[in-house]
Amino acid sequence: MNYHFQAHRQVRRNLLEILQNTSQKDLMLIPDGFNNNIYWNIAHTVATQQLLCYYLSGNPFRIDKYWIETYKKGTLPNLNVQQSEVDDLAFLLTETSKILMKDYDADFFADYTSYTTSFGLDLKNIQDAIIFNNMHESLHFGYVMAQKRAILGEGF
Q: Taking residues 55-79, report their average pLDDT.
A: 96
Per-residue buried b or exposed e for 61-76, using 16+ beta carbons within 10 Å of the residue's own CB:
bbbeeebbebbeeeee
How remote is the C-alpha of 148 from its chain's centroid?
A: 17
Q: Give residue 79's pLDDT.
A: 85
- What percent of the chain stands above pLDDT 90? 95
Alpha helices in the chain (DSSP H): 2-20, 24-28, 38-50, 65-71, 83-105, 126-152
What is residue 126's predicted lDDT score, i.e. its pLDDT?
98
**Predicted structure pTM score:** 0.95
**Where are the chain's structural domains?**
1-152
Average pLDDT over residues 142-150: 97
For residue 52, the 8-state DSSP code is I
Task: Provide the pLDDT for residue 62.
Answer: 98
d(CA 23, CA 26): 5
Q: Looking at the predicted structure, is the pLDDT value of residue 154 above 70?
A: no
The predicted structure's pLDDT at residue 78: 87
**pLDDT, tens digit, 9 for 90 and up, residues 87-142:** 999 999 999 999 999 999 999 999 999 999 999 999 999 999 999 999 999 999 99
Query: Domain 1-152 falls in which CATH fold?
Result: Four Helix Bundle (Hemerythrin (Met), subunit A) (1.20.120)
pLDDT at residue 155, rounded to an integer: 58
What average pLDDT does this structure show over 70-83? 95
Digit-coded pLDDT (tens) for 19-40: 999 999 999 999 999 999 999 9
